[in-house]
C-alpha cells in the first residue's frame, strides 16, 4: 500500500500543473466546450490511475528484467550474443513504447494514412535496436562517447540534406518519442547492468549514461532511410475538421476501450515473451521472484491500457483546441509565453525524468543533485516549446534553422564539459520527451499550426519533440561547464 500511495502521489502532483494551467486558460483566454473540458478531466484521472499502475509494474518487472538481461549478456563474454541480444531486446522495447505508439498513430491520422503507423513503428524500432547494439560495442571497447556521437550526428546531418522536410521533422520527433516511461527504465537498467561488470569504476560510472542517446539516434536515421526507400515525396495535411466538442461525455472513451486494450496487449506481449524465454534458458529465477515479475507485467499491461485510453479520449482533443484558440489572439507574445510555461510544467510531469534524475544522484553519490538537473531540464524544455510556437508563427523559420546550430553547439560543448555530463545530457534529451509531451503539447502545437493559414500542420506541427530533445542537452552541458568552473575555483589556494 505505501508503494501505491507514493506512486499515486508522485503522478498526481506531476499531472496537476498541466491540469491547473488548462483550467486557467479555460476561464481566461481559451474557453472550451463543457463536454470537452469534462472529457479532459476524465482523461487526466485515467492518466493518473494508468501511470500509477504502470510505474508500479515498471518497478516490479521492467527494471528488474533490464538488470537481469544486462548482467546475463555481459556475463556470457560472447560479443555476438551481446549484440544479438541488444538488437532483439531493443526492437521489442521500442515497439512497446507508449509515447512512440501515440506519435505513430497521430502521424498516420495527420498524413491521412500516407505514412502507416505500423511502418513507422517497425522502422524506428529496428533503427533503435541496431544503435543499442552499437552502444553495447562502445561500452565493451571503452570507445569515448563524445567521439561516437560526433560520428553519429555527422551521418545524421548528411542524411538531412536528402530528407523531405516532413520526414525530417518526423524523424527527430520519433527519436524523442522512443525514450519514454517504458524504454528509459529498461535501457538504463541494461546500461548499468553491463557497465557494473567492468573493473574500472570511473569508466563504469560514465558508461551508466549515454546508451539512451545512442539508441534514440537510430530512430532518426531509420526514418530518413524510410524517406529514401518510400515513394512518398509530399505528404499533404488533411483539411481541418470541426471538433467533436458536442460528443457525449463518456462515448469517446467507450469507443476507445477496445483499441487501448489492444495497443496495450501488443506492446507488452513481446517483452513478456522475452521474459519467458530468458527465464527458461538463462535466469532460472525462483518461483517467488518469477511470480513477482509476472505480477509486474500484469500491472504494466493494465496501466498502459488505462493510460492510452485517457490520452486518446481526453488529452489530444483539448490540446489542439487550445492551440487553435490561442493562435487567434492578436498578441503573439501571449501564446509564446504560454508555450514556455507549458514546457516548464510538462517536464515536471514526466515520470521518466524522475527515473533519470534519481539514477544521476545515485550513480554520482549526490555530487550532481537532482534539483539542479530538474531546473536545467525545465528551462530547456520551456525554451523548446516557445521556439516551436515561434516557428509556427513565423513561416521563414524552418526546423533545420534550429537543429543545425543547436546540435553544433551541443557537439561543440562536448569538448569543454566534463565527460560524465555528456552521457547525462544526451540521455536527458531523450527522457524529456514523455507522455505529456507526445500527447498534449504535440496536439497544442498542431492546433496552432492548423489555425495559421500559412502554416503546414505536418511540417510545422511536427518537430516540437525534436526541439524538446535538443534543448536539455545544451542546458545540461552548460550545467556541466558550471560544475567544472566551480570545481576549479575550489582547487585554487
The Cα–Cα gap between 190 and 431 comes to 16
Q: Which residues of the chain have pLDDT under 50?
A: 201-205, 237-244
pLDDT recorded at residue 293: 92
The per-residue b/e assignment along 436-455, b for 16 or more CB within 10 angstroms, e otherwise, is bbbbbbbbbbbbbbbbbeeb
pLDDT recorded at residue 291: 92
Q: Which residue has the cell 488533411?
A: 238
Q: Characterise 142 by phi-psi region: left (phi > 0), alpha (psi -120 to 50), beta (else).
A: left
**Start-to-end C-alpha separation, the chain:** 53
pLDDT recorded at residue 299: 92
Tell me the CA distances in angstroms from 163 to 233, 293, 403, 460, one per residue in order: 9, 43, 14, 15
For the chain, the domains span 2-237+245-491
pTM: 0.76
Amino acid at each position: 500500500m505505501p508503494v501505491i500511495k507514493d506512486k499515486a502521489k508522485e503522478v498526481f502532483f506531476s499531472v496537476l500543473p498541466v491540469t491547473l494551467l488548462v483550467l486557467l486558460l479555460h476561464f481566461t483566454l481559451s474557453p472550451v466546450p463543457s463536454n470537452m473540458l469534462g472529457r479532459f478531466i476524465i482523461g487526466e484521472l485515467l492518466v493518473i490511475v494508468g501511470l500509477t499502475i504502470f510505474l508500479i509494474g515498471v518497478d516490479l518487472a521492467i527494471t528488474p528484467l533490464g538488470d537481469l538481461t544486462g548482467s546475463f549478456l555481459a556475463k556470457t563474454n560472447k560479443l555476438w550474443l551481446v549484440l544479438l541480444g541488444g538488437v532483439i531486446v531493443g526492437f521489442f522495447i521500442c515497439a512497446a513504447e507508449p509515447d512512440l505508439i501515440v506519435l505513430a498513430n497521430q502521424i498516420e491520422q495527420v498524413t491521412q494514412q500516407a505514412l502507416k503507423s505500423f511502418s513507422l513503428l517497425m522502422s524506428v524500432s529496428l533503427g533503435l535496436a541496431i544503435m543499442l547494439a552499437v552502444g553495447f560495442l562502445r561500452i565493451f571497447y571503452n570507445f569515448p562517447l563524445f567521439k561516437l556521437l560526433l560520428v553519429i550526428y555527422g551521418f545524421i546531418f548528411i542524411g538531412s540534406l536528402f530528407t523531405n522536410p516532413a520526414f525530417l521533422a518526423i524523424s527527430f520527433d520519433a527519436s524523442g518519442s522512443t525514450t519514454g516511461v517504458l524504454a528509459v527504465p529498461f535501457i538504463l537498467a541494461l546500461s548499468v547492468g553491463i557497465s557494473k561488470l567492468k573493473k574500472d569504476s570511473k569508466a563504469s560510472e560514465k558508461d551508466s549514461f549515454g546508451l539512451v542517446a545512442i539508441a534514440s539516434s537510430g530512430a532518426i536515421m531509420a526514418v530518413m532511410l524510410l524517406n529514401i526507400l518510400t515513394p512518398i515525396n509530399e505528404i499533404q495535411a488533411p483539411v481541418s475538421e470541426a471538433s467533436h466538442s458536442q460528443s457525449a461525455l463518456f462515448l469517446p472513451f467507450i469507443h476507445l476501450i477496445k483499441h487501448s486494450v489492444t495497443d496495450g496487449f501488443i506492446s507488452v506481449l513481446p517483452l513478456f515473451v522475452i521474459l519467458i524465454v530468458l527465464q527458461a534458458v538463462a535466469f532460472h529465477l525462483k518461483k517467488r521472484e518469477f511470480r513477482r515479475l509476472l505480477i509486474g507485467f500484469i500491472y504494466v499491461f493494465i496501466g498502459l491500457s488505462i493510460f492510452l485510453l485517457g490520452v486518446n479520449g481526453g488529452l489530444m482533443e483539448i490540446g489542439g483546441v487550445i492551440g487553435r484558440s490561442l493562435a487567434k489572439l492578436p498578441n503573439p507574445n501571449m501564446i509564446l509565453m504560454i508555450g514556455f510555461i507549458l514546457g516548464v510544467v510538462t517536464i515536471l510531469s514526466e515520470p521518466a525524468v524522475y527515473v533519470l534524475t534519481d539514477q544521476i544522484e545515485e550513480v554520482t553519490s549526490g555530487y550532481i543533485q537532482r534539483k539542479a538537473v530538474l531546473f536545467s531540464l525545465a528551462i530547456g524544455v520551456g525554451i523548446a516549446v516557445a521556439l516551436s510556437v515561434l516557428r509556427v508563427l513565423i513561416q521563414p523559420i524552418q526546423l533545420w534553422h534550429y537543429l543545425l546550430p543547436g546540435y553544433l553547439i551541443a557537439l561543440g560543448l562536448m569538448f569543454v564539459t566534463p565527460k560524465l555530463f555528456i552521457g547525462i545530457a544526451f540521455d536527458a534529451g531523450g527522457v524529456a520527451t514523455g507522455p505529456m509531451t507526445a500527447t498534449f503539447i504535440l496536439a497544442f502545437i498542431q492546433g496552432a499550426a492548423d489555425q495559421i493559414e500559412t502554416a503546414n500542420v505536418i511540417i510545422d506541427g511536427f518537430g516540437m519533440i525534436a526541439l524538446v530533445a535538443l534543448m536539455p542537452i545544451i542546458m545540461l552541458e552548460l550545467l556541466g561547464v558550471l560544475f567544472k568552473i566551480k570545481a576549479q575555483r575550489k582547487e585554487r589556494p
